[in-house]
Amino acid sequence: EGEFMGKSAFDRTRNELSETDLRHWHVYEEGGTVEFWFRISQHHASAINNLGGKLGTIPNEFKMWAFDEGQDGHIDGLYSKMFGSAPTGGARGSRIENPQLSQEMAYALKQRYSEFHDGPDTVQQQLALGDQYKQGRRGPPWASVLQSNSRFSIHTESSLNGGRYSTQLVNWKFEIFVDARSPEDRIEAVKDMVKYFNDNPDMVEDAAQDVIGTRFANLKALADTNRDEVLSGKRLGPSLQRIDSMYGAAAAAGSDEWAERSMMAVKWIQDNWDSMDEVEKWVAYYVYILPMALRRLNFARVLPTIEMDDDKNLGKPSTWNEKVKNQLGRLGAWGGTQRDYGGVQRGETQAGSIGEPRPAQESMEQQIDRIDRILKEFAPDIRLYRTEISAIVSAERMKKTKQLEDQLRGLRDVTTVNLLGKTPLIDATQVRYGIKFALRGTESSPAYVKNVLLPLLNSDKVPGIRVDRTRGRGWTTPEEVTPGKSKKTLKENAFSQFGGVAGNLSAKRPASRALPTPALGLDAIAADWQDGGVMSYDVAMDTTDMRYHVMMPVEELLPYISREFRAPKDAFDGMYQNFIKNGAQSPVYVAIGKNRIKITGGEDMVWFAKRSGLEELPVFLSYQSQV
């Protein structure tokens, strides 16, 4: 007044708020900016808050099942996976601050405000009159300022925990700020916001819980999916096939010690899988199988040697017990459990495996009913295969052919042995046997011959006999001879299931060629091409929509896609919506080379199918010398 300049809106607001009991705010002023840091109570010495309970600390199940340290790096990278960006350090400590978090917090506060003041849209709930008659929510008068003048950040706090998983706290901070250059209406809006949330602190805590809770829910869904797919064996099959395609041939030829060691370790894991508990399956998959399939296993540290003396544990990694004990320790298992671990307990029902404990005082009738129920629910898909073996048998062994055939029938999974013919040689006889064997539906029959049958035939278990490991010379590609399945074919036609015009089109178009079932996987297709130059699928279907060779499970294609989608998120979302609306409009193009397998076109559809849960995609194959 008089000769002095009047106070600005900024000065008046600062003075007014300084006289107000801001029990839920720390006021921080620097230069021409004032920041209001929310605190849970006036007795809370810091503006760094924690919701406590399930949302205050990242649980161990997330660390175990939602984060692969071998691929994703240090366990603290879990923060980035949850909240969208890496923590940054500075004077204010380690924090995650990005526009997405602040936008989500502002939106959550607006929603909480509307629910508190406007209540539900009862008119809209009672009368379905359409969107044009819907009563709009008013929302806070300072909504736009809340969006521009507030920040929400996550403050990370990770501490070592004596051999266990690190304790990872999820702290948060909410700030409202304004500077002297802001227009008067913005300054007034900030003042109103600060006063309002000072009187309604629960609204800020609830909004923070909404933001953090959504991130926890997303990570829990990922952990649950990974856990279910690993424990059920769904992830195991494709990884084993990929390992076989990388190391199987070298192991069978005996030309690579690491390859032989790998295949024997894989075989041991496969044989013991159903007896493993949850921790053991985690170790088997994430410590051994997945790194091996991705070519990132450190053999010298993780698989330096394998068990070769114990017939019941041939191929068991020498580091197995150590790795399981370490994981038990990280999960906080009782010291005795960790110390006394002695290996996979075969023949006992384990957590995470098929089976159920026998109830106490169970009668004989109840036991029969329980076993019958288990057998019906988990009846295995057993398939029968036949291969021909050309063996060189010593003259001494040929004197006891009956004994030799009995020994062959005693080999693992072999069901019948038939003598097909023999050719005399000098001091030996070349003998052809037809051998049938039984496998579960998920097991590869060529892999069984290469990694199980041939090593047994060439071992001391069957003395006096030698079989060439090369396919086409020592053995033939197995064919399925399961009763009721061996001659089954699949005919695909784009219109055969419809009437009217579509039915007429079907009548005018010849059905596509017969396809053998079950359909071959990519590794089997590649093995046929690489070993014998055989094109398993050489004539493409020709429907009105597209040309393709075969419908293939998406999980077969996943190992061959890039680690990251090759476009920004908004582009992904747009293309994904089109995929959901129209489906696959072209096939996935896969090149089968003598050296490797590669997706050369349509990779986007594999990403979309993975996200949507679609099980199969059309695939067009091309056979090449080099890819």
Q: Give the pLDDT mean for 18-34.
A: 77
CA distance 561 to 606: 8
The single-letter code of the amino acid at 474 is G
Nearest to 492 by CA among 622, 605, 619: 619
Residue 598 backbone zone (phi > 0: left; psi -120 to 50: alpha; other: beta): beta
Residue 111, pLDDT > 60, answer yes
Q: What is the DSSP letter of 359?
A: P
pLDDT at 336: 73
Confidence of residue 427 (pLDDT cuts 50, 70, 90): confident
What pTM value is reported for the model?
0.53
What sign has the CA pseudo-torsion 318, 319, 322, 324? negative
Give whole-number Cα distances, 389 to 82, 146, 259, 431, 475, in Å: 55, 77, 24, 8, 5
The per-residue pLDDT for 321 is 93
How does residue 519 score in pLDDT terms, banded at 50, 70 and 90? low
Rounded Cα gap, residues 424 and 403, in angstroms: 19
Residue 23: band (very low, low, confident or very high) from pLDDT cuts 50, 70, 90: confident
Alpha-carbon distance 242 to 230, whole Å? 16
**pLDDT one-digit tens code per residue, 276-320:** 999 999 999 999 999 999 988 898 899 999 988 887 888 999 999
What are the C-alpha distances in Å from 173 to residues 38, 86, 190?
7, 16, 17
What gap in Å lies between CA 427 and CA 435, rounded to an integer?
A: 25
pLDDT of residue 408: 87
User: Residue 202 class from Cβ within 10 Å (0-12 exposed, 13-18 middle, 19+ buried)?
Assistant: exposed
Lowest pLDDT segment from 471-480, 499-508, 604-613 = 499-508
Q: What is the pLDDT of residues 41-97, one digit of tens each?
A: 766 667 888 888 788 899 999 999 998 887 778 888 889 888 988 888 754 568 899
Encoding tokens for residue 576?
A: 């994904």
CA end-to-end span of the chain, whole Å? Answer: 83
Render pLDDT for 356-392 as a digit per residue (tens, 0 to 9).
444 444 555 555 555 555 544 444 567 788 899 999 9
Q: What φ, ψ does residue 456 adopt, rounded to 5°?
A: -70, -45
Reported residue count of the chain is: 627
Residue 479: strand pairing partners: 386
Q: Kindly report whether the peptide bond that precedes residue 518 is cis, defined as omega within 30 degrees of 0.
A: yes
Higher-pLDDT residue of 10 and 150 is: 150
Angle formed at CA 139 by CA 133 and CA 141, multiple of 5 degrees:
125
Share of the chain above pLDDT 70, in %: 79
Domains of the chain: 9-120+139-229 (no CATH), 236-344 (no CATH), 382-480 (3.30.70), 519-624 (3.90.1530.30)
In whole angstroms, what is the distance from residue 289 CA to residue 471 CA? 26
Q: Which tops the pLDDT comparison, 127 or 381?
A: 381
How far apart, in whole angstroms, are the C-alpha atoms of residue 486 and residue 463? Answer: 33
Q: Which residue has the higher pLDDT, 503 or 271?
A: 271
The rounded distance, in Å, linking the Cα atoms of 42 and 39 is: 7
pLDDT tens per residue, range 545-582 = 677 788 888 888 998 998 887 777 777 888 888 888 88
pLDDT class of 129 with cuts at 50, 70, 90: very low
Q: What is the pLDDT of residues 464-479, one digit of tens each?
A: 899 988 877 788 888 8
d(CA 146, CA 174): 11
Tens of pLDDT, residues 174-195 = 999 988 787 888 888 888 888 8
The predicted structure's pLDDT at residue 494? 36
Measured between alpha carbons, how far is residue 344 from residues 138, 204, 351 in Å?
62, 50, 12
Structure confidence at residue 115 (pLDDT): 83
- 3 state DSSP class of 51: coil
Contact predicate 49/211, CB 8 Å:
no
Please count the CA atoms within 13 angstroms of the CA of 385 that sit on its side-chain side.
Answer: 24
Q: For residue 50, list its beta bridge partners.
A: 171
Identify residue 627 by its one-letter amino acid code. V
Res. 488: pLDDT tops 60: no
Distance of CA 620 to the CA centre of its chain: 25
Of the listed ranges 1-10, 473-482, 505-514, 615-624, the one predicted with least confidence = 505-514
